[in-house]
């Protein structure tokens, strides 16, 4: 079950909210936990036990770390190994087998395991909790229900943001509710829903048509690159908006995950704005423990590359993800070694063109499978192996989807947000009336698309 489905919007969410607000405060966590298990069971029934076992392991290890100070490092390692073992087994086993077969000319059969939805996200949540308990940044949670509620919270279980235990530690004990916060959550949810259904899903039509078009032109390769770049942003940021909005409805304040990354003037800035919770997770739990930039230059460069290879692998068990991670690792090193100073001096529009060019190339690598496809798509952008620059079919796609491209490009910047903020200052009463009406109309349009349209799962579910 996904947020952008009629079942979730008209059955699951209303029932969950009604029960949640009817019951006394002391059982709200229990309701949330049961609701989250039901939500996960509908999407992945056979892996609910796996998630519960993972939570139980983290819970026990946390208590052992606090109780046995002399042996706490052993328990930390044990907890991390168990959590990562589940992740590696289900996500990377076939990738390992494929590469062993390729290197040693082996014939080991693939396991063809289904990937448990959200395992990458909830594994990182549990690791951050156990490390923070070990370093005494947070107190161990001795109430299993509260820890289980934190890990399994359905709004951010499937695709983040990666909420740390310290962020909602107090809210697990006591949450504040108000109509203003709830309505803000509804507003944020609708905005995310619009991003997903009205922009990302429309762009997915262009992306999906890429594999069916027989005669690809240079123009069509660029249409594909632009479409996948915009689709991934609106799909993932739309999910994050919905997750943050749902969190507010249930009394939680989740961290922001995106901050208009496509206006960045460097790759360094881009990764401060894109998937913020993942970037800070790798910084705090991998980069800094490795020594960060407080070591010699060679080790510092090693630390950056290790982080970005792992970032690529985290997204998927394939070489294109590793290559994608390495691309950013190398670019970040180049920027830190001097390119940043140059980017600060040149006109802003040139630095933004550089970032968007890199990002588009990156997402083409990210979205295709196999090195041959990467070579074909990257080459196609520059006319290599392509007979025509333009044809009638590519012009058709460009003209037919021009409006959604323009809307998506504008919506990926703070332009609309800034206009609304200015209008709120000049004509606050009018905006206070028009905003809820506009949001309601947008919700109706989204529901209409869901009734008439086809199912489009969130891209990040497969990562």
Point out the domain boundary residue: 159, 175, 191. 175
Q: Is the pLDDT of residue 462 over 70?
A: no
The CA-CA-CA angle for residues 367, 371, 374, to 5°, reads 50
Using pLDDT thresholds of 50, 70 and 90, give the confidence band for residue 458: low
120 and 95, same structural domain?
A: yes
User: Stretch 90-98: mean pLDDT, rounded?
Assistant: 94
Give CA–CA dist 319/325, Å, rounded.
10
Using pLDDT thresholds of 50, 70 and 90, give the confidence band for residue 452: confident
188 and 171, same structural domain?
A: no
Give the residue numbers annotated as catalytic, written as ranges. 315
Structural domain contains residue 127: yes
Domain that holds residue 441: 181-462
Structural domain contains residue 307: yes
Structural domain contains residue 442: yes
Chain segment 135-144, per-residue pLDDT in tens: 999 999 999 9
Structural domain contains residue 71: yes
279 and 155, same structural domain?
A: no
What's the pLDDT at 183? 95
211 and 128, same structural domain?
A: no
Q: Is the pLDDT of residue 251 over 80?
A: yes
125 and 242, same structural domain?
A: no
User: Stretch 312-325: mean pLDDT, rounded?
Assistant: 93
122 and 145, same structural domain?
A: yes
349 and 272, same structural domain?
A: yes
Chain segment 61-73, per-residue pLDDT in tens: 999 999 999 999 9
Point out the domain boundary residue: 175, 204, 232. 175
Task: Using the structure block, give the residue that is written with the tokens 């549990």.
Answer: 126
Contact predicate 216/386, CB 8 Å: yes
Non-local (6+) Cβ contacts of 366 within 8 A are 232, 315, 320, 321, 324
Using pLDDT thresholds of 50, 70 and 90, give the confidence band for residue 266: very high
Structural domain contains residue 1: no
Give CA–CA dist 20/250, Å, rounded.
8
Count of domains forming the chain: 2
Chain segment 31-45, per-residue pLDDT in tens: 999 999 999 998 878
Give CA–CA dist 301/317, Å, rounded.
24
Task: Report long-range pairs for 30-36 (Cβ below 8 Å, ≥24 apart).
Answer: 30/145, 32/149, 32/153, 32/154, 32/250, 33/145, 33/148, 33/149, 33/152, 35/154, 36/149, 36/152, 36/153, 36/154, 36/157
What's the pLDDT at 428? 86
129 and 45, same structural domain?
A: yes
- Give the mean pLDDT of the chain: 92
Chain mean position to CA 85: 22
Structural domain contains residue 203: yes
150 and 65, same structural domain?
A: yes
352 and 249, same structural domain?
A: yes
Chain segment 201-214, per-residue pLDDT in tens: 999 999 988 888 88
Point out the domain boundary residue: 135, 155, 175. 175
Structural domain contains residue 286: yes
336 and 455, same structural domain?
A: yes
What's the pLDDT at 454? 57
114 and 191, same structural domain?
A: no
Q: Is the pLDDT of residue 352 over 60?
A: yes
> Which of 88, 106, 85 has its CA nearest to residue 97?
106
């Amino acid at each position: 079950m996904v947020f952008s489905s009629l079942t979730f919007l008209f059955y699951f969410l209303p029932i969950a909210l009604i029960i949640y607000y009817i019951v006394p405060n002391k059982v709200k966590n229990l309701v949330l936990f049961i609701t989250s298990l039901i939500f996960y069971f509908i999407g992945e029934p056979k892996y609910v036990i796996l998630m519960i076992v993972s939570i139980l392991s983290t819970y026990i290890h946390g208590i052992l770390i606090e109780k046995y100070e002399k042996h706490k490092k052993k328990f930390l390692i044990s907890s991390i190994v168990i959590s990562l073992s589940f992740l590696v087994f289900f996500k990377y086993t076939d990738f390992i087998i494929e590469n062993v077969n390729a290197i040693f000319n082996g014939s080991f059969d693939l396991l063809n395991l289904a990937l448990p939805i959200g395992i990458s996200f909830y594994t990182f949540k549990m690791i951050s909790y156990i490390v923070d308990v070990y370093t005494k940044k947070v107190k161990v949670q001795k109430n299993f229900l509260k820890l289980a509620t934190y890990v399994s919270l359905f709004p951010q279980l499937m695709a983040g943001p990666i909420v740390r235990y310290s962020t909602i530690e107090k809210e697990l004990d006591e949450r504040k509710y108000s109509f203003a916060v709830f309505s803000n959550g509804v507003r944020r949810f609708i905005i995310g829903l619009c991003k997903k259904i009205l922009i990302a899903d429309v762009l997915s039509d262009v992306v999906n048509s890429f594999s069916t078009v027989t005669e690809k032109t240079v123009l069509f390769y660029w249409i594909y690159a632009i479409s996948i770049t915009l689709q991934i942003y609106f799909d993932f940021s739309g999910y994050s908006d919905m997750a943050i909005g749902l969190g507010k409805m249930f009394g939680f304040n989740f961290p922001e995950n995106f901050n208009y990354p496509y206006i960045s003037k460097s790759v360094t800035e881009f990764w401060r704005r894109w998937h913020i919770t993942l970037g800070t997770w790798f910084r705090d739990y991998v980069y800094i423990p490795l020594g960060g930039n407080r070591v010699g230059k060679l080790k510092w460069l090693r630390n950056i590359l290790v982080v970005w290879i792992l970032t690529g692998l985290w997204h998927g068990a394939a070489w294109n993800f590793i290559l994608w991670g390495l691309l950013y690792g190398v670019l970040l090193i180049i920027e830190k070694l001097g390119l940043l100073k140059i980017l600060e001096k040149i006109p802003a529009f040139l630095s933004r063109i550089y970032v968007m060019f890199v990002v588009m190339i990156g997402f083409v690598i990210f979205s295709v499978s196999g090195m041959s496809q990467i070579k074909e798509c990257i080459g196609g952008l520059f006319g290599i192996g392509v007979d025509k620059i333009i044809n009638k079919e590519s012009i058709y796609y460009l003209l037919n989807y021009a409006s959604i491209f323009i809307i998506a490009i504008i919506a990926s910047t703070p332009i609309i947000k800034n206009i609304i903020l200015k209008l709120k200052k000049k004509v606050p009463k009018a905006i206070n009336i028009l905003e809820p009406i506009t949001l309601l109309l947008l919700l109706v349009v989204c529901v209409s698309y869901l009734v008439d349209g086809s199912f489009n799962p969130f891209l990040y579910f497969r990562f």
